[in-house]
């Protein structure tokens, strides 16, 4: 599994355009290999965390930026995120 994390500072993390952009992600077409996608906020930072089945599917979505939920979301919000990709090497699932 691959963990894709992007974050950007935002002046107003409660702004309605953020939730509008998120709702577009929620109802939009999912790229192949996307398992989960989370949006979080804290201390004027928006963060999107995506879980992918493998690096190949993540990279394929990256080649088609409009199909990668992270970049479509941040672009719609007018934000330029920092982005990192990491391989998941352990997992603990809650009961």
Task: Write down the pLDDT at residue 29.
Answer: 82
Work out the pLDDT band at 65, boundaries 50, 70, 90.
low
Q: What is the pTM of this model?
A: 0.83
Task: Write down the pLDDT at residue 67.
Answer: 59
Altogether, the residues listed in the chain come to a count of 95
Q: What residues does each domain of the chain span?
A: 2-87
Cβ(88)–Cβ(1) under 8 Å? yes
**CB-based contacts of 94: which residues, under 8 Å, 6+ apart?**
none
**b/e 30-51 (16+ beta carbons within 10 angstroms → b):** ebebbeebebeeeeeebbbebb
Average pLDDT estimate for 5-34: 85
**Cβ atoms within 10 A of the Cβ of 25, count?**
16
CATH architecture of 2-87: 2-Layer Sandwich (3.30)
Cβ(7)–Cβ(77) under 8 Å? no
């Amino acid at each position: 599994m691959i963990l894709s994390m992007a974050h950007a500072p935002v002046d107003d993390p409660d702004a309605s355009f953020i939730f509008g952009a998120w709702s577009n992600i929620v109802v939009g077409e999912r790229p192949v290999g996307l398992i989960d996608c989370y949006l979080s906020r804290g201390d004027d930072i928006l963060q999107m965390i995506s879980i992918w089945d493998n690096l190949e599917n993540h990279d394929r979505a990256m080649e088609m930026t409009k199909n990668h939920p992270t970049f479509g979301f941040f672009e719609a919000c007018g934000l330029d995120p920092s982005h990192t990709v990491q391989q998941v090497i352990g997992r603990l699932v809650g009961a």
